[in-house]
Amino acid sequence: MPYFRAFLMAALSSLILAKLSELVAPRLGLVDRSNERKIHQGARPIGGLALLGGLLIGAGPLLPWSREVSSVLLGVIVIAGLGLLDDLRGLGAKSKLLVQALASLIPVLWGGLWVRSLGLGGAGLELGPWGIPLTIIWVVGITNALNFIDGLDGLAAGSSLIAVGFIALFAWKSGGSIALALAVGLAGAVAGFLRYNFYPARLFLGNEGAYILGFLLAVLALEPFGHRFGPIERLPVLPPLILLGLPIADTLWAILRRLRARRSVFAPDRGHIHHRLLARWGYGKALLILYLVSLALGVLAVAGWWR
């Protein structure tokens, strides 16, 4: 019952904040303007910060204010601030990567939330201090991967809602009450936001919203395998990779595609998976296909781990 209440509070709060963002964002210049590589026409308001507000209001009462929890919330506030500044002014790729890495350092070093060893089947690989940079690379990578797939109305938010639903299932099964509270709160916040983000979207996530989703999904995809929301002593490799397989695959393909073309890996283009599906099937079918892929990956991740 407390988790259901947290979901409803997060959804309602996000819904209200999203509506306020729709009204206020244009006055602040917080809009996403169309260009030759974007699908939408005109300027659309950006309101991804509604996700953070919904999460804090919904999940906050269930969270102990431990160092681990505080480190995650501080990290996501930093990453949201970076996204907001990028949406307002536009930042260079190197500057964004640096701040993303610094934001990731907060839960990893201060909160101690890093992977000590990896498990694949019956085998294990001790990472030692190498677990720190590998965890940071994971968080930064997933943060950007979510931003990469934010190219269709409702895609990044909807696929994240599916993924975080499965993360909540992982957390419930493993007894991780903190990870469960954060996952349920994030799910509620995304559900409320989607009211304004489905096609044709009245409100965009922006970099701020995509970074919030990516950062939290990266952390929460690991934490059900930790010890009471703490260090991840043995992380099963496949479940997080499969669960977030859609943004991971799209990002890897984008990097390879741009390297082959001798372009910056951060140079935007219209060669993403969702662009190709859109050209072939149209908006509704493309979105449905990608939602089904996300759902199938979640089921596969659970099936391979559940005991």
Residue 301: its pLDDT value, please? 93
pLDDT at 101 over 90: yes
What pLDDT, on a 0 to 100 scale, did the predictor assign at position 39? Answer: 55
Average pLDDT taken over every residue of the chain: 90
Report pLDDT digits (tens) over 106-129.
999 999 999 999 987 777 789 989
What gap in Å lies between CA 242 and CA 249, rounded to an integer?
Answer: 10
Q: What is the mean pLDDT of residues 134-148?
A: 95
pLDDT at 35 over 70: no
Which has the higher per-residue pLDDT, 211 or 253? 211
pLDDT value for 280: 84
pLDDT at 41: 54
pLDDT of residue 264: 75
Output the six-digit token pair for 244. 């977030």
* Three-state SS annotation for the chain: CHHHHHHHHHHHHHHHHHHHHHHHHHHHCCEEECCCCCCCCCEEEECCHHHHHHHHHHHHHHCCCCHHHHHHHHHHHHHHHHHHHHHHHCCCHHHHHHHHHHHHHHHHHHCCCCECEEEECCEEEECHHHHHHHHHHHHHHHHHHHHHCCCCCCHHHHHHHHHHHHHHHHHHHHCCHHHHHHHHHHHHHHHHHHHHHCCCCCCECHHHHHHHHHHHHHHHCCHHHCCCCCCECCEECHHHHHHCHHHHHHHHHHHHHHHHCCCCCCCCCCCCHHHHHHHHHCHHHHHHHHHHHHHHHHHHHHHHHCC
Residue 242 in this model has a pLDDT that exceeds 60 = yes
Q: What percent of the chain has pLDDT over 70?
A: 94
Determine the pLDDT at residue 151.
Answer: 83
pLDDT, residue 42, reads: 58
Q: What pLDDT is recorded for position 273?
A: 85
pLDDT at 24: 93
Residue 38 pLDDT: 55
pLDDT in tens, 159-182: 999 999 999 999 998 888 899 999
Lowest-pLDDT range, 119-133, 173-187, 198-212? 119-133
> What integer pLDDT is reported at residue 257 of this predicted model?
83
**Average pLDDT, stretch 86-112?**
94
Mean local confidence (pLDDT), 20-36: 83
Q: What is the pLDDT of residue 227?
A: 65
So what's the pLDDT on residue 179? 93
The residue among 191 and 233 whose pLDDT is bigger is 191
